[in-house]
Amino acid sequence: MLRSILDNDFYKFTMQNAVVKLFPNAYTRYAFINRGKHRFPPGFAVRLREAVDAMAGLQLTSDERLFLEEMCPYLDPTYHDFLQGFRYNPLEVQIEQDGEDLSVTIEGLWYRTILWEVPLMTLISQIWYEMADEKRDDDDTVVARTRQKIEHYGHLGVRIAEFGTRRRHSYEVHDLVVGALKRYGGSTFTGTSNVHMAHRHNVKPLGTHAHEWFMFHAARFGFKMANTLALEHWVEVYRGDLGIALSDTFTTQIFFDSFDKMFAKLFDGIRHDSGDAIDFARTTIEHYQRLGIDPRSKTIIFSDALDTEKVENITRFCEGRIGMSFGIGTNFTNDVGLKPMNMVIKMTETRPEGRQWLPVVKLSDIREKNTGDPEMITLARRILSLPS
């Protein structure tokens, strides 16, 4: 069902490159979390297994490699060689179904397993809608709705990226949406997180790192040092490129305790992914000001469940105070007249450098988004002096 090894979010490849260089011996485990309590029909696991097994045949083409070389010069030739030789190993993915409940787990070397999360979610979503056999809006309606949104954002004068791979309705809808964004978006549309769609439509692939980068560092180096070392290692690999830092893996409060003047100057900005966006913007502006940095020289990438109303409210607050850009996901790629799925796949454990397996956690600004072992979450909050 997947047509390209690049049908994945860009930050998976940028993180993979960093993991290959810095943590080649680390192992990880991931698990599917059914936040929406979806009920899976008989035979779903079989369909998913078939799609996962077929991924073993995906490989980077010469044309795709040339695209990466031209668009992403900070990915060096050794990584391009690595990716060209990379093949998915379906044995790393375990899929089980018990009645209407679905279990999906992943285990293996981190530099390999890191690529599974987004394609698996994409497949789960697409197979779910196919088996539900519910009629979506027609292509013309999807394109018209996308055009209306991007032209509205253009009138607001903001920059918009498409971040909707993991919960897209289908490949076909995703392709329609990115095509419409390019056709009607002009300078408003900055690119897509999906590298295959970026290649297909000749736009920029966008992304830096995800929560798992920080989650691993917490297990490897401790909660107190996680943010600092995760940022330092990112700078070590990318030397100033890919300079947007994710802020909420262990709450924004803890992030800003580590985001000192050096990091604030080194990184171009910060990505917001949970909690109240206006409160986050206010806190970020004040943080830069305390450090003697003009917030208008920095950017916040807002990416938490955005729609047109949220973008308007954020724009009104941030305009003239700090740079801003928006990554919109499901509201682009699964706005087709059906209810989107609510699910995630998260890293659950890691075995860094030959050590024992250790649970990893995420402490979002919204507690409902916390993931991981409850006892480890309690321990993390205690170590970080966060309310229990």
| Per-residue confidence (pLDDT) for residue 179, from 0 to 100 | 98
Q: Alpha-carbon distance 234 to 207, whole Å?
A: 13
pTM equals 0.97
Domain co-membership, 314 together with 271? yes
Q: What is the pLDDT of residues 94-129, one digit of tens each?
A: 999 999 999 999 999 999 999 999 999 999 999 999
Q: Are residues 326 and 278 in the same domain?
A: yes
Count of structural domains within the chain: 2
Which residues are 97's β-sheet partners? Answer: 102
Residue with tokens 């698990």: 31
In percent, how much of the chain has pLDDT > 70? Answer: 100
- Residue 380: the pLDDT is 94
What pLDDT does residue 353 have? Answer: 83
Check which CATH number belongs to the domain holding 295 and give it: 3.20.140.10
* Joined tokens for residue 207: 């992304």
Domain of residue 18, residue span: 10-134+342-383
CA distances from 354 to 28, 109, 350 (A): 11, 11, 10
pLDDT digits (tens, 9 = 90+) for 222-253: 999 999 999 999 999 999 999 999 999 999 99
Whether 119 and 163 map to the same domain: the answer is: no
Q: Name which of 100, 3, 94, 92 is nearest 44 in CA terms.
A: 100
CA distance readout (Å), 231 to 65, 239, 293: 28, 11, 19
Query: Residues 95, 182: one domain?
Result: no
Q: Is 298 in the same domain as 152?
A: yes
Residues 50 and 128 in one domain: yes
Nearest to 295 by CA among 306, 282, 304: 282
Residue 236 CB neighbour total at 10 angstroms: 12
Residues 369 and 225 occupy one common structural domain: no
Q: Domain check: are 190 and 212 in the same one?
A: yes
Model confidence pLDDT, tens digit, residues 268-311: 999 999 999 999 999 999 999 999 999 999 999 999 999 999 99
Quick check: is 5 in a domain?
no
In a domain, 66, yes or no: yes
- Give the three-class secondary structure for 299: strand
Residue 122, phi then psi, degrees to nearest 5: -60, -45
Residue 387's pLDDT is 87
Q: Are residues 219 and 264 in the same domain?
A: yes
Partners of 350 in beta bridges: 28, 358
Question: Which residue matches tokens 């949104």?
Answer: 149
Task: Give me the pLDDT at residue 268, please.
Answer: 98
What residue has token string 């000001």?
A: 289
pLDDT in tens, 24-45: 999 999 999 999 999 999 999 9
The model's pLDDT over 54-87, given as tens digits with 9 standing for 90+, comes to 999 999 999 999 999 999 999 999 999 999 999 9
Distance between CA atoms of residues 282 and 292, nearest Å:
16
Residue 327 pairs in a beta bridge with 161
CA dihedral 147, 343, 32, 234 (to 10 degrees): 60
pLDDT for 152-172, tens place per residue?
A: 999 999 999 999 999 999 999
Other C-beta atoms within 10 Å of 310: how many?
A: 17
**Residue % of the chain over a pLDDT of 90:** 95
Q: Does residue 129 share a domain with residue 201? A: no
Examine the domain organization and report whether 211 and 235 are in the same domain.
yes
Judge contact between 220 and 25, C-beta under 8 A: no
Which amino acid is residue 28, in one-letter code? T
- Going by their DSSP bridges, the two strands 101-109 and 27-33 should be labelled as antiparallel
Q: One-letter amino acid identity for 34? A: N
pLDDT digits (tens, 9 = 90+) for 302-357: 999 999 999 999 999 999 999 999 999 999 999 999 999 999 999 999 999 877 99
